[in-house]
Structure 1
Amino acid sequence: MNVTFLGTGTSSGVPMIGCSCAVCRSLDHRDKRLRVSVHVQVDGRSFVIDSGPDFRQQMLRAGTTHLDALLFTHEHKDHTAGLDDIRAFNFRQQTDMPVYGEPRVLSQLQQEFAYIFAEHKYPGVPRVTLHAIERDDEPFDVQGVSVLPLRAMHHRLPVLGFRIGGFCYLTDANHLGPETRAQLRDADVIVLNALRREEHISHFTLAQALAVLEEAQPKRAFLTHISHQLGRHQDVEAELPAWVRLAYDGLVVEV
């Protein structure tokens, strides 16, 4: 399995508009963070988790030419705003794009992208087939690949992460229940959000993320959904245990 980090930034991205802090002025390419998303290639299949507003740019930068499915963690715009750009894959592949999400998330997509789901469609609009993730306690099938939902809370909003084989991906979380913590054990790689150092209402801080990872004890871990408030990549990474790294845009990890 190969995992490409398409974006590792928070909802405002890094650099943030109008900011002149040291991180936003950094010339280190690792401090340039598009909105959070990953591309997973496993068993001959190609999946993207979340299509935020930078989706088109991410697909071009990664050289992605084929996509078998799109999975959504939740309905916030920094995770869904790029849905229109799956049209390119419709055109190339001559098929509808399978889209997976919880019923609440799919309902929100139908409202925000009403033209996609209109009875009489405008020519050239995206073509999708919706697949509801009805349960959060058992695996579901994505094009022949078994995916286990990982329940998390984003303040008061239930969100999903996903486990595919030994790879676990969780973003936009600040609470994991005991069931989810158990599902993280024995993972080869865990990706977890770590927004900043200070407390936040809906995201893990760096210290909180490290505590979760210390309990789960994966072989390797990567931090994502990072804001400019966390600090420069090279400075933060120097503080971390050897088995935990900061993810950065374009990083490819073999699981």
Structure 2
Amino acid sequence: MTITFLGTGTSSGVPMIGCTCNVCRSLDHRDKRLRTAIHINVDERSLVIDTGPDFRQQMLREGIVQLDALLFTHEHKDHTAGLDDIRAFNYRQGHDMPVFAEPRVLDQLRTEFAYIFAEHKYPGIPRVVLHPIERDDAPFDLLGLPVQPLRALHHRLPVLGFRIGDFCYVTDANHLSSETLEQMRGAKVIVLNALRREEHISHFTLSQALEILADLQPERAYLTHISHQLGRHQEVEAELPSWVRVAYDGLKINLN
């Protein structure tokens, strides 16, 4: 399995429009963060979790020419706004794109991208096949691949992370139940959001994320969905245990 961090930033990205803080002015490429998403190559399948507003740019930067399915964690715009750009994969691959998400999220996609689902479709629009994720207590089948949903709360909004084999991915969360933690336990690699140092209504802080990771004890962990308020990449990493790293855009990790 190869995981590529397509984006590691929060909804405003880093740098943030109009900000002149030392993070937003940093020349370190690791401090340039597009909206959060990942690409996974596993068992000859190419998957993307979340298509934010930077989806097209991320696909071009990473040279991704095949995409077999999309998964969505939740319906917020910084995770869905790039859906229209799957058209290129429709054209190249000659088939509709499988999309996996909770029914509520699929309903939101139908509303925000109503033209995709119109009775009389305009030529050239994206083509999708919707697959509702009905349960979070058991794996679902994604093109023959078992995927375990990981229930989380984003303030009061139920969202999903995903476990595929020994890899867990959770973003946009500030609460994980004991049941979800047990579903994550034993994973070799865990990605978890860590927005900033100060308390936040809907995201884990750095200290909260580290506390969860210390309990789960994966071999490796990576922090994502990072705002400019967390600090410069190099300085934050210097504070962390050796097995926890700050993810950055374009980072690739391999998991056997």
TM-score w.r.t. the length of structure 2 is: 0.99
Cα distance in 1, alignment partners of residues 56 and 237 from structure 2: 29
Counterpart residue number, 1:240: 240
Counterpart residue number, 2:164: 164
Counterpart residue number, 1:106: 106
1:194 aligns with 2:197: no
> Which runs of 4 or more aligned residues in structure 1 lie more than 6 Å from their structure 2 counterparts after TM superposition?
none
SS at structure 1 position matched to 2:176? coil
State the Cα deviation string for residues 30-59 of structure 1 (Å, max 9, x = none).
Answer: 000000000000000000000000000000
Cα distance in 1, alignment partners of residues 236 and 96 from structure 2: 42
Residue identity over aligned pairs, in percent, reads 77
State the Cα deviation string for residues 110-129 of structure 1 (Å, max 9, x = none).
Answer: 00000000000000000000
Q: CA deviation at 1:158?
A: 0.2
Cα distance in 2, alignment partners of residues 252 and 141 from structure 1: 25
1:1-255 to 2 correspondence within 5 Å?
Answer: 1-255=1-255
Letter in 2 for 1:205: T
SS at structure 1 position matched to 2:88? helix
State the Cα deviation string for residues 173-195 of structure 1 (Å, max 9, x = none).
Answer: 00000000111111110000000
State the Cα deviation string for residues 187-219 of structure 1 (Å, max 9, x = none).
Answer: 110000000000000000000000000010100
SS at structure 2 position matched to 1:105? helix
Cα distance in 1, alignment partners of residues 190 and 21 from structure 2: 30
- Runs of at least 5 residues in structure 2 that lack an aligned partner in the other structure: none
SS at structure 2 position matched to 1:153? strand
Q: CA deviation at 1:21?
A: 0.2
Letter in 2 for 1:134: E
Cα distance in 2, alignment partners of residues 92 and 152 from structure 1: 35
SS at structure 1 position matched to 2:61? helix
RMSD over equivalenced CA pairs, Å: 0.3
TM-score w.r.t. the length of structure 1 is: 1.00
- Runs of at least 5 residues in structure 1 that lack an aligned partner in the other structure: none
Cα distance in 1, alignment partners of residues 123 and 223 from structure 2: 41
State the Cα deviation string for residues 140-190 of structure 1 (Å, max 9, x = none).
Answer: 011111100000000000000000000000000000000001111111100
Cα distance in 2, alignment partners of residues 128 and 183 from structure 1: 30
Cα distance in 1, alignment partners of residues 107 and 236 from structure 2: 39
Cα distance in 2, alignment partners of residues 7 and 133 from structure 1: 24
Letter in 2 for 1:120: H
SS at structure 1 position matched to 2:92? helix
Letter in 2 for 1:13: G
